[in-house]
A = this chain, B = another copy of it.
Amino acid sequence: MDITTIVGLLLGLVALGGGFLLEGGHLSALLSPTAAIIVFGGTFGAVTLATPFEELKKIPKLLKIAFTYKPRDPMETIEELVALATTARREGILALEEKIETYDDEFFKNGVRLVVDGVDPELVRSILETELSFIESRHEKAVLPFDQAGGFAPTMGIIGTVMGLVHVLGNLSDVENLGPQIATAFIATLYGVSSANVIYLPLATKLKSRTKQEVLIRELMIEGILSIQAGENPNILGQKLKAFLAPNLRAPKAEAGEANVETT
């Protein structure tokens, strides 16, 4: 459960709605089905036109990730790598084969399997880096619809408001209701700007930062797997990988990892 996703979303909606209530408004005054059709329908249409079907299909999965993603602790990955390196030194590289069966990361297993298969180190690096760069670009592409929705929604809001004003100004006979009608026209702007800034854009930013975290973990894995293949000292390996992390993330579980260390 990604708590900041839910808290942030609720906070944003409550702040806007609550502020309006405290001003003495009724939330019903913010409801306008036509504005909703124009803004959300228009945004969805533009995003659909802009996005290949393969990408559109991923949106529900991405939403699930945004709300439930639990970031992995990079120190755990480092410890796993140091443990693997220790095993490889003591029992040989082939001993890694059965150990990796317990891991659930396909990328990691795939990389270790290449090492066990005795593939050339340069080729291992090239295969894993290619795979990682494609993972990265797929993730970036998958976030595009959210970014686009964040760009299209406010302009759809403006379109809705201008349409509303065109309608109001074209029929000025009903002067009594002029104010409420203009108010209704502005609801579209409200929908467009709010949905972009409370939902689409922050969600896109969150998903992008998740991608960066995933990529960091994978970079750790590539470095680790190649060091294991090169038969490097697990101690140096631990040192090198910890350089990828913030100092405060390095301390906690470091002892366990370093207990395995041998001197060359």
Contact = CB atoms under 8 A, between A and B. Distances in A.
A61 to B, nearest CB: 10
B34 A14 contact: no
A245 B127 CA distance: 12
A42 B180 contact: no
Interface size class of A (residues with CB under 8 A): 35 or more
Nearest to A138: B246
A92 interface: no
A150 to B, nearest CB: 10
A13 B45 CA distance: 8
Contact of A15 (B38, B54, B154, B172): B38
Contacts of A29: 166-167, 170
B134 A243 contact: yes
Interface string A227-261: 00000000010011001111100000000000000
Given A10-B45, A20-B163, 12 more contacts: A18-B37, A25-B166, A29-B167, A46-B197, A47-B202, A49-B203, A50-B206, A52-B210, A123-B240, A166-B186, A166-B187, A169-B183
